[in-house]
A and B are shown apart, each in its own frame.
Chain A
Amino acid sequence: MNVWIAIALTAVGCYLAKLLGLLVPAGALERPVVQRLAALLPVALLAALTAQQAFGTGQHLVLDARGAGLAAAALALVLRAPFLVVVGVAVAVTAGVRALG
């Protein structure tokens, strides 16, 4: 049940966020500070999520095979690999390290 509540809230919230941009008059959100904040917010959230999902297990910090997978993904990004290759490399390296360890 909790999962459905989360899904419903996220679906409604994300849809309204999309619709808001199409409906409000141009200029309403054009203040430079608002624009800068809107651009920076995803940066902070994505960085936090990357770190937590790679190094967190429950409420503990751990360094396991996911760390190696994330490092491989970072290398693939530096080499300008396409999106799917980046994800594939991370999965393959994580599975490989786990199989070896």
Chain B
Amino acid sequence: MAEQTAPPQSVAGPPGGTAITAEAKPDAAVVRDALGVGIAVGLSGFAFGVTSAGSGLSLLQTCALSLLVFTGASQFALVGALAAGGNPYTAAAGAFFLGVRNSFYGLRLSQLLALPRALRPLAAQWVIDETTAVTLPQPTRRAARIGFTVTGLTLYVLWNLTTLVGALGAEALGDTAAWGLDAAGPAVFLALLAPMLKSTTERVTAALAVVLALGLLPVLPAGVPVLLAALAAPVVLFLMGRGKDGLMGRGKDGTPDEPAGEAGQGQEAEKAAAKTGAPRTTTQEDGR
């Protein structure tokens, strides 16, 4: 998505005037970026509609999720947990923890968009991965507001329409498993996960979470293993932090040395990976 939002600067002002160039991104280019993301992702609401209906949720319940929750990973997680027989509280907790990342998107968007307080409760529903990805790289406040609004509106309308179509389609299909549609959920999760696996820290966390989730599945009630697998995140952060107090100290002083920090974390992650050989193997299997 970052590539799609790279501003075309053909209509730039005088050479060398970067400030002017930054101002020059035409509204049409922003709208084009926003529509590209909004339409592509909006259409995948179809996969959610089919999965949700295939998991046994009614048409009304499926559409309510897309209208009210409107953050894809949480929606897939919830219907998956309910289908597996999880109780509503653990199922909702897993979906909620996935939605927490939107708080951090909102924090960054808030500064960029500078919305009036009265508008914020309305705008909040659109604070998700895709709107953030389109909005953050925009060069001006006007471009950011256009990008956020067009992406949010396109995605909200399309996601809900395709959810409805998918749910109706699933009811017509009958046994969705025969059509392989029970593989849509895990494939969506993997597609969301893949771009996040940037460094060894993320890969070790993912591997540890897989081991915890599969290892605990046979012995704990449905939904609980996923919540416990989330502990992989603080555990890996803690292990990475241990034994490199100098690095952590530097970060707290407010003078973080980014490249050194990344390198240090990489080495630390290699050590952690060496200690826990099994999880790494699982990652490699995942990537086959």
Using a CB–CB cutoff of 8 Å, the interface residues on chain A facing chain B are: 2-7, 9-11, 13-15, 17-24, 26, 28-30, 32-33, 35-56, 58-61, 65-66, 69-71, 73-75, 77-78, 82-84, 86-87, 89-96, 98
On whether the beta carbons of B229 and A47 are closer than 8 Å, the reply is yes
Q: List residues of chain B with CB within 8 A of the CB of A73.
A: 183, 186-187, 190-191
19 contacts between A and B (CB under 8 A): A9-B96, A10-B65, A18-B127, A21-B106, A21-B127, A42-B192, A44-B208, A44-B231, A45-B97, A46-B193, A46-B206, A50-B189, A52-B226, A65-B180, A66-B182, A74-B286, A74-B287, A86-B191, A89-B187
Chain B: residues with Cβ within 8 Å of the partner, total of 107
Residue B44 CB within 8 A of the other chain: yes
Interface set, chain B 113-128, CB cutoff 8 A to A: 115, 120-121, 123-125, 127-128
Q: List residues of chain B with CB within 8 A of the CB of A18.
A: 71, 99, 102-103, 105-106, 124-125, 127-128
Least CB separation from A35: chain B residue: B104
On whether the beta carbons of A53 and B100 are closer than 8 Å, the reply is no
Shortest Cβ distance from residue B229 to the other chain A in the assembled complex, whole angstroms: 4
A36 to B193, CA, bound (A): 16
A17 to B48, CA, bound (A): 22
Q: List residues of chain A with CB within 8 A of the CB of B20.
A: none
Q: List residues of chain B with CB within 8 A of the CB of A37.
A: 233-234, 237
Q: List residues of chain A with CB within 8 A of the CB of B69.
A: 7, 10-11, 14-15
Interface set, chain B 37-62, CB cutoff 8 A to A: 40-41, 43-44, 47, 57-58, 61
A51 to B89, CA, bound (A): 21
* Residues of B contacting A: mostly: helix
A50 to B40, CA, bound (A): 22
On whether the beta carbons of A10 and B97 are closer than 8 Å, the reply is no
Using a CB–CB cutoff of 8 Å, the interface residues on chain B facing chain A are: 40-41, 43-44, 47, 57-58, 61, 64-65, 68-71, 73-78, 80-82, 84-85, 87-89, 91-92, 94-111, 115, 120-121, 123-125, 127-128, 177-194, 196-197, 201-202, 205-210, 212-214, 217-219, 222, 225-226, 229-234, 236-237, 251-252, 256, 286-288
On whether the beta carbons of B205 and A43 are closer than 8 Å, the reply is yes
Q: List residues of chain A with CB within 8 A of the CB of B99.
A: 10, 13-14, 17-18
On whether the beta carbons of B106 and A44 are closer than 8 Å, the reply is no
A83 to B98, CA, bound (A): 19
On whether the beta carbons of B183 and A4 are closer than 8 Å, the reply is no
On whether the beta carbons of B213 and A38 are closer than 8 Å, the reply is no
A83 to B36, CA, bound (A): 13
